[in-house]
Structure 1
Amino acid sequence: MSYPYIKAAKEPFDAIVVGSGVTGGWAAKELTEKGLKTLMVERGQAVEHRKDYIGEGVKAWEMPQRGLLEANTIDTEFYIQKKCYAFNAATQQFFGNDREYPYQQEKPFDWIRGNALGGKSLLWHRQSYRLSEMDFSANAKDGHGADWPIRYKDLEGWYSYVEKHVGISGSKENLAVLPDSEFLPAFEFNQVEKSVKARIEKHYKDRKMIMGRCAHLSKPSAEHLAQGRGQCMARNECQKGCSFGAYFSTQSSTLPAAMKTGHLKIATDSVVHSVIYDDKQNRVTGVRVIDSETLEVREYYAKVVFLCASTLGTTQIMLNSKSEAFPTGLANSSGALGHYLMDHIYGVGATAQVEGFHDSYYKGRRPTGIYIPRFRNVAKQEMDYVRGYAFAGSAQRDSWQTLANSGLYGKSLKDKIRAAGDWSFYLGGQGEMLPHYDNHVRLHETKVDKWGVPQLVMSCEHRSNEKKMIADMGESAAEILQAAGLKNVQAHVNPRPPGLAIHEVGTARMGADPETSVLNGFNQSHDIPNLFVTDGSSFASSACQNPSLTFMALTARACDYAAQQLAAGKL
């Protein structure tokens, strides 16, 4: 199926979707399936499923320069992106170029950006968890941040809706803190993980170790096969692109669905400069874009606009869409736009050695690990900080790479390489960050990028609550591994600056009060009825779960609402 690319467009569309990642793909699917003629606008290059996965299945030693990028290229063009786990020679074409997309760090912030059709849906780690009732009510309960205008029951059915299409592998656990999804079979624990799981759950009544829930087709349903997707082969090379379509991405799932309707057009290499606003009608009428290659300015028009350009990408567009009615940014009568930036606490955990199990190994390269759901401040407020964290991790045997500094050589090195290494176990924490007004982004007064778009200034840091959580997270990770009887337990408390968890949320938050929030409970602008924002910028709090599944559910729900409102003549 050929992709329906366009440049100029004479006729207006029913809907414009800015961005093509997890939320943009879902918005395009839902709106086109409801009969709306839709334009998807993507600032990056075209990437076609299967055809453009140039590194897929290619061994490192078969890549140019054996998979190594030139140091000069990394240091001058990808000096931020290189910090991402998914960045390498086979994937760098999917990432934003830091030299071309500069931003200012008033306080350290690592902004990881996709720059291709499919966005970060090509690069994400695919961990998929629902938020719980506790998460949606946390702001109201402890007074940090604006109350979410929705609760779990409002999103429960939409979670199920998107999960059936996406395909989430996992196990039913009946945990209030982590609601179950519509599951495909879970991936299996290895023998060490089974042993550690039993020891942890015997020692702790409030901690359970489960298999990580991920957007992989462990056993495709008829719906998935109809999408042209196949079973996960456990190659764990997902970020290179997956021709099987075994993990969820825009290319493998939502984009083909939208294309089947015949209602979709795609404009790639189109940098959205701003949203066009008509103050007489109090409606957005389209978007103004700059061709990333020719710098030609184009405008596209539509009845409704969905901003799905990522948390900070969307906020940058809104801040730059100024008018007499909105001098500080589009739909910003509340003054909340750009504020309450959050990202998960990342870089804290523990490692340990596991004795024995030398006759055990694992089959394949499972694309997920173990997960210990949140256990802090659940039944009651027990700590000197609010909210909580979860752990991810895995058990693995040391590989030949660990011998690089062993001091061995000759026959002894060869013999050691041929033997499987010892077992180790890792836990890495992911903690909630509170919404704080001073954690924000804004436009730089003079500095712009190559397209003339003002650069973002990042000002975000961990505050008292996060610092207390970080300390406890390291201690409890080590305590859990010690309780499981593991040896040489070492805590690692090296929290990364915000950004590198790549779960940034909150800068155009939802809320019931138009004076303190940008969006209502349907991700609709309080100020402008035909403007919707469904990416992470809409979050009122971060919870501690990976956010992408909630992005999808919110987007599907907002599209349903927008289509109804449009049909009723209210937009």
Structure 2
Amino acid sequence: MENKIKEYNISQSPEQYDAIVVGSGISGGWAAKELTENGLKTLLLERGRDVKHGEDYKTEHMPPWEAEFRGRGDRKLFEEEYPMQLRSDVINEYNYHFFVNDKEHPYQTDEEDPFLWVRGYHVGGRSLTWGRQTYRWSDLDFEANLNDDIAVDWPIRYEDIEPWYDYVENFIGVSGQEEGLDHLPDGQFLPPMDMNCVEKDVREKIKNNFEYRTMTIGRCAVLTEPHKGRGSCHYCGPCSRGCSVGAYFSSQSSTLPAARKTGNLTLRPNSIVHSIIYDKETNRATGVRVIDRLTKETKEFYANVIFLNASALGSTQIMLNSTSEAFPNGIANSSGVLGHYLMDHHFRVGASGSFEGYTDRYYHGNRPNGIYIPRFRNINEQTIQDSFIRGYGFQGGASRSGWGRGTNMKGFGEEFKNKLRDPGQWNFWLTAFGEILPYEDNYAELSDKTDDWGIPQLEIHGSIKDNEHSMRKDMAATAAEMLEAAGAKNVSTNENEYLLGEGIHEMGTARMGRDPKTSVLNAHNQAHDVPNLFVTDGACMTSAACQNPSITYMALTARAVDFAVEEMKKGNI
């Protein structure tokens, strides 16, 4: 029988929409923009509160002395109510209102290998707090599963998504430097941010000492010049608090204003999607069941096409909870793979070192971007490794230590204070982000425990395996190798504990594929089993590559909407 909710009265919306989008974050905002611009009356459902651009960025430029805990936050509050978000090292006193309260939104996970699920339940989701790094994938990534005979093959290749990368980049604005690398394709770039003096020298020394290794400025969705009515970045620094000038891409600054401009958007915050309504006779999803976050009233909304963009695990939770006679294990789950093959990017390993000299030079402001060293392992016959497959890239940068270094210095009095007036030495750090393979036993399922709205909590299991552990050894070694070759002193490697999910790049659990027997979605992010259901967030990913994935979600979303609109015109959905 169809999964029943714990409400006696279900009210039905009198209005029939052309489309429903679940989730207003990076991919959901794009789905709303594309659907509305194609003339579809679209209902955008967000489970959290509304956040208005600029108006609700309460701490955007708050100085430390105005914060009760000087920015560090109430540790007791964080430990009691934000314990998982705190472990992920993403929250502070200025931005914790953009992350979920774990106590109010619990999930189940293993004690020995916990999954860290970092979430933002509000309009805009994690588009307000993401790192903004935007790197295209290439066929090295899309063909990886096929070539390694792992999991299933991607049903698309780079040529299928290349024009959609162009389309998305031209709209959101991505600053970056062309490098001509086949495995990290160049994009439609705004002028790149400038490297500082040490970074420029390190770039040249890496180039001169290592074949196949390139250091470039990060490619990021932060404007270096005015673009599409948004202002350019002024390097103030506190990006995770919101950006009222819209210098970085977010749903609030970019896609939602475009969707509103059409007059076709209805935004409904505080709307927790319980499940998808399915009609066995037509083999179509007809709508969604929603529980009002504040009143707990249950409503049903109907539409011709549904896009799930609630985040990788959020969308899968909804699908698993959407049971019926046709789909007893979750809607569109005839393959049985829904919930499996959960991935992330493993990190917290790298190296750092100091550089002598350059004492007469500094840099401007707080650049919201670092350097990037693209993958250089297993990219061709000359770089094949015996101990692991796939690869990793490095993020990092150089900076001069400030007055805070005084906490670890000896001294006191006037002379001590005067020393801290000048910048300290130059330091350079590198942190690797590596690919995690798609493993069936990294998965999420519904728990027998429910949340405050009567919805089964997710129970999430997973860890990295031998391939990733072997890769981590190489990550540390090559980071130190490059810094030493560049002339760094006091080079030291670091490897800290990594927990799955900590990279905040969770992917998979409703993967794309060619065969309905082994995948949930087809080449257009359309459910094999339910033709008018699309999933275009991280849940759709078939492998993880090692690049930040958000630009790929955006491109896949725009591409899927284009396909869905054409299918609706043909009467197929």
Q: TM-score, normalised by structure 1?
A: 0.96
Residue 3 of structure 1 corresponds to which residue in structure 2?
Answer: none
Deviation at 1:294, TM superposition (A): 1.2
SS in 2 for 1:421: coil
1:124 aligned to which of 125, 130, 136: 130
SS in 1 for 2:223: coil
Looking at structure 2, the residues matched to 294 and 64 of structure 1 have their Cα atoms a distance apart, in angstroms, of: 32
Looking at structure 1, the residues matched to 18 and 95 of structure 2 have their Cα atoms a distance apart, in angstroms, of: 34
Q: Given residue 23 of structure 1, which amino acid in structure 2 is its aligned partner?
A: S
Given that 1:348 and 1:429 are in contact with CA atoms closer than 8 Å, whether structure 2 keeps it comes out as yes
SS in 1 for 2:345: coil
Looking at structure 1, the residues matched to 88 and 500 of structure 2 have their Cα atoms a distance apart, in angstroms, of: 13
2:434 is equivalent to residue 434 of structure 1: no
1:509-567 alpha-carbon deviations (Å, 9 max, x no partner): 00000000000000000000000000011000000000000000000000000011111
Moved more, 103-112 or 84-93: 84-93
Looking at structure 2, the residues matched to 191 and 431 of structure 1 have their Cα atoms a distance apart, in angstroms, of: 28
1:411 aligned to which of 399, 411, 414: 414
Residues 291-440 of structure 1 aligned to structure 2 (within 5 Å): 291-380=292-381, 381-440=384-443
Looking at structure 1, the residues matched to 419 and 109 of structure 2 have their Cα atoms a distance apart, in angstroms, of: 46
Looking at structure 1, the residues matched to 567 and 469 of structure 2 have their Cα atoms a distance apart, in angstroms, of: 44
SS in 1 for 2:552: helix
Q: Given residue 363 of structure 1, which amino acid in structure 2 is its aligned partner?
A: H
Residue 4 of structure 1 corresponds to which residue in structure 2?
Answer: none
Residues 254-269 of structure 1 aligned to structure 2 (within 5 Å): 254-269=255-270
Looking at structure 2, the residues matched to 57 and 158 of structure 1 have their Cα atoms a distance apart, in angstroms, of: 35
2:36 is equivalent to residue 32 of structure 1: yes
1:179-221 alpha-carbon deviations (Å, 9 max, x no partner): 0010000000100111111111110121010000000110124
Given that 1:288 and 1:298 are in contact with CA atoms closer than 8 Å, whether structure 2 keeps it comes out as yes
Residues 103-114 of structure 1 aligned to structure 2 (within 5 Å): 103-106=107-110, 107-114=113-120
Residue 135 of structure 1 corresponds to which residue in structure 2?
Answer: 141
Residues 476-487 of structure 1 aligned to structure 2 (within 5 Å): 476-487=478-489
Looking at structure 1, the residues matched to 365 and 449 of structure 2 have their Cα atoms a distance apart, in angstroms, of: 48
Residue 78 of structure 1 corresponds to which residue in structure 2?
Answer: 82
2:73 is equivalent to residue 69 of structure 1: yes
Moved more, 516-525 or 85-94: 85-94
Given that 1:167 and 1:220 are in contact with CA atoms closer than 8 Å, whether structure 2 keeps it comes out as no
Looking at structure 2, the residues matched to 317 and 387 of structure 1 have their Cα atoms a distance apart, in angstroms, of: 31
Deviation at 1:117, TM superposition (A): 0.2
Q: Given residue 499 of structure 1, which amino acid in structure 2 is its aligned partner?
A: G
CA gap of 1:382–1:69, structure 2 versus 1, over 3 A, is closer
Structure 1: state its 5+ residue gaps: 1-6
Looking at structure 1, the residues matched to 475 and 215 of structure 2 have their Cα atoms a distance apart, in angstroms, of: 16
Residues 186-225 of structure 1 aligned to structure 2 (within 5 Å): 186-221=192-227, 224-225=228-229
Looking at structure 2, the residues matched to 439 and 287 of structure 1 have their Cα atoms a distance apart, in angstroms, of: 28
Residue 89 of structure 1 corresponds to which residue in structure 2?
Answer: 93
Given that 2:88 and 2:116 are in contact with CA atoms closer than 8 Å, whether structure 1 keeps it comes out as no
1:380-435 alpha-carbon deviations (Å, 9 max, x no partner): 23332110000010001112122213233222331122111111000000000101
Given that 2:346 and 2:502 are in contact with CA atoms closer than 8 Å, whether structure 1 keeps it comes out as no
| Deviation beyond 4 Å, 4+ runs, structure 1 | none
Looking at structure 1, the residues matched to 87 and 367 of structure 2 have their Cα atoms a distance apart, in angstroms, of: 23
Given that 1:509 and 1:519 are in contact with CA atoms closer than 8 Å, whether structure 2 keeps it comes out as yes
Looking at structure 2, the residues matched to 497 and 72 of structure 1 have their Cα atoms a distance apart, in angstroms, of: 23
Looking at structure 2, the residues matched to 265 and 80 of structure 1 have their Cα atoms a distance apart, in angstroms, of: 33
Looking at structure 2, the residues matched to 108 and 369 of structure 1 have their Cα atoms a distance apart, in angstroms, of: 29
Given that 2:57 and 2:243 are in contact with CA atoms closer than 8 Å, whether structure 1 keeps it comes out as yes
SS in 1 for 2:484: helix
Q: Given residue 74 of structure 1, which amino acid in structure 2 is its aligned partner?
A: F
1:17 aligned to which of 1, 18, 21: 21
1:159-191 alpha-carbon deviations (Å, 9 max, x no partner): 000000000000111101100010000000100
1:182 aligned to which of 179, 188, 197: 188
Looking at structure 2, the residues matched to 373 and 68 of structure 1 have their Cα atoms a distance apart, in angstroms, of: 33
Residue 49 of structure 2 corresponds to which residue in structure 1?
Answer: 45
Looking at structure 2, the residues matched to 338 and 174 of structure 1 have their Cα atoms a distance apart, in angstroms, of: 37
SS in 1 for 2:301: strand
Deviation at 1:86, TM superposition (A): 4.0
Looking at structure 2, the residues matched to 475 and 463 of structure 1 have their Cα atoms a distance apart, in angstroms, of: 19
Deviation at 1:9, TM superposition (A): 3.6
Q: Given residue 147 of structure 2, which amino acid in structure 1 is its aligned partner?
A: K
Deviation at 1:68, TM superposition (A): 4.0
1:570 aligned to which of 544, 552, 572: 572
Deviation at 1:304, TM superposition (A): 0.6
1:434-469 alpha-carbon deviations (Å, 9 max, x no partner): 01111111111x211111111111111111111111
Residue 525 of structure 2 corresponds to which residue in structure 1?
Answer: 523
Moved more, 88-97 or 406-415: 406-415
Residues 229-240 of structure 1 aligned to structure 2 (within 5 Å): 229-240=230-241
Deviation at 1:330, TM superposition (A): 1.0
Residue 99 of structure 1 corresponds to which residue in structure 2?
Answer: 103
Q: Given residue 442 of structure 1, which amino acid in structure 2 is its aligned partner?
A: E
Looking at structure 2, the residues matched to 91 and 370 of structure 1 have their Cα atoms a distance apart, in angstroms, of: 25
Looking at structure 2, the residues matched to 97 and 417 of structure 1 have their Cα atoms a distance apart, in angstroms, of: 38
Q: Given residue 375 of structure 2, which amino acid in structure 1 is its aligned partner?
A: R
Given that 1:349 and 1:428 are in contact with CA atoms closer than 8 Å, whether structure 2 keeps it comes out as yes
Residue 443 of structure 1 corresponds to which residue in structure 2?
Answer: 446
Deviation at 1:147, TM superposition (A): 0.2
Q: TM-score, normalised by structure 2?
A: 0.96
Structure 2: state its 5+ residue gaps: 1-10
Given that 1:470 and 1:495 are in contact with CA atoms closer than 8 Å, whether structure 2 keeps it comes out as no
Deviation at 1:63, TM superposition (A): 2.5
Q: Given residue 286 of structure 1, which amino acid in structure 2 is its aligned partner?
A: G
Q: Given residue 435 of structure 1, which amino acid in structure 2 is its aligned partner?
A: P
Looking at structure 2, the residues matched to 495 and 428 of structure 1 have their Cα atoms a distance apart, in angstroms, of: 13
Looking at structure 2, the residues matched to 131 and 47 of structure 1 have their Cα atoms a distance apart, in angstroms, of: 31
2:514 is equivalent to residue 512 of structure 1: yes
1:122-157 alpha-carbon deviations (Å, 9 max, x no partner): 010000000011100001001112100000000000
1:17-55 alpha-carbon deviations (Å, 9 max, x no partner): 000000000000000000000000001100001110001
Moved more, 240-249 or 400-409: 400-409
What is the number of residues matched between the two proteins? Answer: 559
Residue 154 of structure 1 corresponds to which residue in structure 2?
Answer: 160
CA gap of 1:496–1:293, structure 2 versus 1, over 3 A, is same
Looking at structure 2, the residues matched to 461 and 65 of structure 1 have their Cα atoms a distance apart, in angstroms, of: 35
2:503 is equivalent to residue 497 of structure 1: no
Given that 1:86 and 1:239 are in contact with CA atoms closer than 8 Å, whether structure 2 keeps it comes out as no
Deviation at 1:85, TM superposition (A): 4.7
- C-alpha RMSD of matched pairs (Å): 1.2
SS in 1 for 2:83: coil
Q: Given residue 82 of structure 1, which amino acid in structure 2 is its aligned partner?
A: L
Residue 55 of structure 1 corresponds to which residue in structure 2?
Answer: 59
1:80-127 alpha-carbon deviations (Å, 9 max, x no partner): 112345422221111111001111112311110011100000010000
